[in-house]
Amino acid sequence: MFGRRKKGSAAEDAASEAEQVDGVVEEVDTETDDAEQERVRLEPKPRPDGPWDSSEVRDPAEGRVDLGGLFVPGVDGMELRVEVAGDAIVAATVVLKDSAVQLQAFAAPKREGIWGEVREEIATGITQQGGVIDEVEGPLGWELRAQVPVQLPDGTGGFQVVRFIGVDGPRWFLRGVISGQGAVQPQAAGLLEQIFRDTVVVRGEGPMAPRDPIVLKLPDDAQMVAEGVQQEEQEGSRFSGGMGQLQRGPEITEVR
C-alpha cells in the first residue's frame, strides 16, 4: 500500500516552488488512489488451465458429475457430497481419502473480479475469531492458508488447517476450501487442485446479484446417506469465511 508522501521543509520565500511540490504530491496521491482501486477491482485474469465456463467446454458432462450449476470431475475412489442452505443446494464437497475440497460458485460482476475482496473478508473473519491467516501465492494463484479455531471432540479448543482458493470467471466466482491432509501438506493436494481446475461453472443467463450462490441440483444417480451417519465428521468441518457459514443439512453421496 502506498502512503502519502510528506513534503520536506522549504524556505519561506520559495512559495511558488512549494506550490509546485504540493501539486506533485497531490498528483501522486490521486494516482495512488486509482492504483488501490484497480488493485481491488481487477478484471478476471485469463484461465488457460481452468476452471471453465460452460461456454468454453464442448461437452461439460463428459467425465464430470452434473450438479446443474457445476460439473465436477469424476475421479476413481472419490466421494461427492452436496450441502444445503435452507432448501437450496449450494455447495459440493469432493472427498479423496484423507483430504477434501468444498466447491461453491457465486455470481459476480461482468467485468470485475471479486476474489481479492473475498480474501480480505475471509481473513478478517478468521482473525477476529482468533485464527491465523497466511496469504501466499500457490499453484492456483493467491490463496489463504488458515488455522481456524474449532472445538475438539473432547470439548477443548483447537485449530483446523484449511486452504481457501478462488478463481474469477466471466460473471462468476468459484471458491474452494481444501481441508485434511491436502491443507496440512499442500504438496499432497495435486489431485484436489486438478479437480478444482477442471470444474465447469454454469452461470446461466438470468439476472443475479453479485455474490448470490449459484444453486446446484442432485445428480441423477445419487444415493441417499442415512441421517446421522456422518454427523461427527460434519461437526468438525464447518468453516468460517467471507461468504457466510454454511449449515450442512442432509447429504447426498456418490461413490465412484
Of the CA atoms within 13 Å of residue 32, those in its CB half-sphere come to 11
Regarding whether 130 and 242 lie in a shared domain, the answer is yes
Task: Let me know the angle formed at the C-alpha of 124 by 118 and 106, rounded to the nearest 5 degrees.
Answer: 20
Query: Which CATH number goes with the domain that contains 159?
Result: 3.40.1000
Taking each helix axis as running N to C, give the angle between helix 15-40 and helix 115-128, from 0 to 180 degrees, rounded to the nearest 10.
Answer: 90
29 φ, ψ (degrees, to nearest 5) = -60, -40
| Higher pLDDT pick, 67 / 219 | 67
- CA 75/CA 73 separation, integer angstroms: 6
Q: Which strands form 52-53's sheet, in the order they lie side by side?
A: 52-53, 200-201, 70-73, 64-66
Query: Is residue 27's pLDDT more than 90?
Result: no
Show the domain range for 35. Answer: 13-42
Regarding whether 18 and 113 lie in a shared domain, the answer is no
Regarding whether 204 and 100 lie in a shared domain, the answer is yes
H/E stretch holding 116: helix 115-128
**Interval 71-101: pLDDT, tens:** 999 989 999 998 888 888 989 999 999 999 9
Query: Is residue 240's pLDDT more than 80?
Result: no
Regarding whether 211 and 108 lie in a shared domain, the answer is yes
Whether 32 maps to a domain, the answer reads yes
Regarding whether 88 and 185 lie in a shared domain, the answer is yes
34 φ, ψ (degrees, to nearest 5) = -65, -40
Query: Is residue 24's pLDDT more than 70?
Result: no
Name the pairing type of β-strands 52-53 and 200-201: parallel
- Average pLDDT over the chain, rounded to whole? 77
Whether 8 maps to a domain, the answer reads no
Whether 169 maps to a domain, the answer reads yes
**Interval 53-75: pLDDT, tens:** 999 999 999 999 999 999 999 98
Overall average pLDDT of the 185-194 stretch: 93
Regarding whether 26 and 107 lie in a shared domain, the answer is no
Task: Specify the pTM.
Answer: 0.72
- CA 201/CA 9 separation, integer angstroms: 58
Cα 49 to Cα 53, 138, 167, 226, 244: the distances in Å are 12, 14, 11, 37, 28
Q: What is the pLDDT of residue 225?
A: 57
Whether 95 maps to a domain, the answer reads yes
Regarding whether 157 and 76 lie in a shared domain, the answer is yes
Overall average pLDDT of the 250-255 stretch: 38
Regarding whether 181 and 62 lie in a shared domain, the answer is yes
Regarding whether 120 and 37 lie in a shared domain, the answer is no
**Interval 122-180: pLDDT, tens:** 999 999 999 999 999 999 999 999 999 998 888 899 999 999 999 999 999 999 999 99
Domain count of the chain? 2
| Higher pLDDT pick, 121 / 155 | 121
Whether 7 maps to a domain, the answer reads no
Whether 5 maps to a domain, the answer reads no
Q: Which runs of E-coded beta strand occur in 63-156?
A: 64-66, 70-73, 79-85, 88-96, 99-107, 132-138, 141-151
